[in-house]
Chain A
Amino acid sequence: MLLIPCPYCGDRPEIEFSYGGQAHIARPPVPAALDDEQWGSFLYGRDNIRGPHRERWRHSHGCARFFNILRDTRTDLILASYRVGDPLPETGAS
């Protein structure tokens, strides 16, 4: 079980959280302007990174707030935790 650093509450066990997948996928401002390829890619395409991965979590059974973490998917080590809108931490990936 991961020990997840909520930027509002501190370290809490994984079972208090919900996972939100890859972070920073912005909804296109004008969806109708996209062709099918771009829209399909927005909906379903994922980087699925093997390495430092920016991802959304929600502290569902705590403060209930969304935030982001940077986690290395090769080791599950959490490298950084940051609030929505904070500057992005460096991935350290080559």
Chain B
Amino acid sequence: MNDMQRYSLFSLVRHGLRNHSGWREQWRAATPKSHYDAIVIGGGGHGLGAAFYLARDYGLANIAVLEKGWIGGGNTGRNTTIIRSNYLFDESSSLYDHAVKKWDTLSEELNYNVMYSRRGVMMLAHTVHDEQVFRRHIHANRLNGVDNEWLTPEQAKAYCPPLNIDPGVRYPIIGAALQRRGGTARHDAVAWGYARAADAMGVDIIENCEVTGIDRDRSGRVIGVQTSRGPIRAAKVGVSAAGNSSVVMGMAGLRLPLESFPLQALVSEPVKPVLPCVVMSNTIHAYISQSDKGELVIGAGTDVYTSYTQRGGLHIAQHTLEAICEIFPQFRRMRMLRNWGGIVDVTPDRSPIIAKTSVPGLYVNCGWGTGGFKATPGAAHLLAHTMATDAPHALNAPFTIERFRDGHMIDEAAAAAVAH
């Protein structure tokens, strides 16, 4: 175990008196050892978190996280940071609420401010069908102990004053579903916080280390991986590679029900606080929140074609901005500073896979599609549990690969009709 430099007001003052010359790097730049007990492929929030929970909660001492780029450079640093758990089906709301509960204490557990803010997630209804779907969600959520409530347009406006509730616009707001426990967090801090805490538990975080092959013995069991920094042996390998999951799993001969699409987001110039909560509209397809830096953070839908390029077409972003300007006419004159894309791995039923695979020693956490960030602490914990015990936790037991063989879909795609 390494000595972690704890952050506190006291340490800030102490280092301030020394002109801030004593701060150490947050995690070591580890070089790969020849052998680990467990390897996690993918240094995003999910993978780093899995390594952290393996070390802290499941007692594994010798763990590595392999990242082909840099920590938090993939989807963890490219998403719109929305956190919510108001999914329709029992399996989904339990899974996502497991994560939402873990967000509550994450900053304390990691001694790292992930800036989790329960500012509320409001989903706008523009049509009678929207209202019926949201009311069904609200009832299902309440039966599952997940908060979600119906607001009239006036109540929505009171909670989020910039909303345009004029009934004369093309897509008038006829109500909204509000999950008050939903919110946002600082995405980079999640990756960095997990990396630092895992490093302090002795986990080797190895950046610029691309996995190029998965080694198996005669019986088919995993015995290690080939990487751009040489072979590494390990009896357990967990894959948490988001958009590249098909590529990595293909190295073990597995073909998954996944397709990888670009998903774009963009941010505006920073302004003073103007938007107090997260607002989503599925009908006109836009979601927006304001970061603590003041930028409006706007998410689009996926591009239509599969790609690994981490960029998408400008017309997709334009479509989203048109929707934003419809709901918030006062944002029309704001300038956009940056846009970017991430590659999201989408399953046919839009629910994730966290499971053992048919290859002994190989575990996978994938298929989060457009909504993986919100689940980071939960998915990380469940992947760690599945790897450590070689069996799924009750919460991720339904999220198998075999459900696509057996027809036991968790069909949030059709039933929720939401922008995840």
Which of A's residues lie within 8 Å of B, judged by CB? Answer: 1-2, 14-15, 18-19, 21-22, 36-37, 39-41, 43-50, 53, 55, 71, 73-76
Q: How far is the CA of A43 from the CA of B259 in the complex (A)?
A: 13
Q: Is the CB of B258 within 8 A of A46?
A: yes
Q: Per-position contact with A for B247-266: 1 when CB-CB < 8 Å, else 0?
A: 10000000111111000000
Q: B255, B257, B305: which contacts A19 (Cβ < 8 A)?
A: B305
Q: Is the beta-carbon distance between A55 and B306 smaller than 8 angstroms?
A: yes
Residues of B that sit less than 8 Å from A by CB: 244, 246-247, 255-260, 304-309, 313-315, 345, 348, 404-407
B305 contacts across to A, CB distance below 8 A: 2, 19, 55, 71
Q: Are A48 and B246 in contact, with the CB atoms below 8 A?
A: yes
Asked if A45 meets B255 with Cβ closer than 8 Å, knowing A73-B307, A74-B309, the reply is yes
The docked-state distance in angstroms from the alpha carbon of A74 to that of B243 is 12
Q: Does B308 contact A18, Cβ atoms closer than 8 Å?
A: no
CB distance from B306 to the nearest CB of A (A): 6
Cβ contacts A to B, 10 pairs, < 8 Å: A1-B314, A1-B315, A14-B313, A14-B315, A18-B304, A44-B348, A48-B260, A48-B345, A50-B247, A73-B307
The answer to whether A48 touches B404, judged by C-beta atoms less than 8 angstroms apart, is no
The reply to whether B313 and A48 form a contact with Cβ atoms under 8 Å apart is no
Whether A1 pairs with B313 at a CB distance below 8 angstroms is yes
How far does the Cβ of A71 sit from chain B's closest Cβ, in whole Å? Answer: 8
Please report the C-alpha to C-alpha distance between residue A43 and residue B407 in the assembled complex, in whole angstroms.
11
The 10 tightest CB contacts between A and B, nearest first, are A48-B246, A40-B405, A44-B257, A1-B313, A19-B304, A44-B404, A50-B308, A45-B255, A19-B305, A40-B404
Residue of A nearest to B255 (CB): A45
The answer to whether B405 touches A73 (Cβ under 8 A) is no
Residue of B nearest to A38 (CB): B405
Which residue on A lies nearest to B247, using beta carbons?
A50
Q: Which of B244, B246, B313, B315 contacts A46 (CB 8 A)?
A: B246
Question: Which B-chain residue is minimally distant from A69 (CB atoms)?
Answer: B305
Bound-complex Cα distance A23 to B308 (A): 18
**Counting chain B CB atoms within 10 Å of each CB, which of A36, A44, A75 scores highest?**
A44
A47 near B348: Cβ-Cβ < 8 Å: no
A14 to B304: give the CA distance in the assembly, Å. Answer: 10
Partner of B246, one of A15, A41, A47, A76: A47
In the complex, what residues of B have CB within 8 A of residue A74's CB? 308-309
Quick one: closest A residue to B258, CB to CB?
Answer: A48
Contact, CB under 8 Å: A43 / B258: no
Q: Known interface pairs A1-B315, A15-B315, A36-B406. Does A48 touch B309 (Cβ–Cβ under 8 Å)?
A: no
With A14-B313, A45-B255, A48-B258: A76-B306 Cβ-Cβ less than 8 Å = no
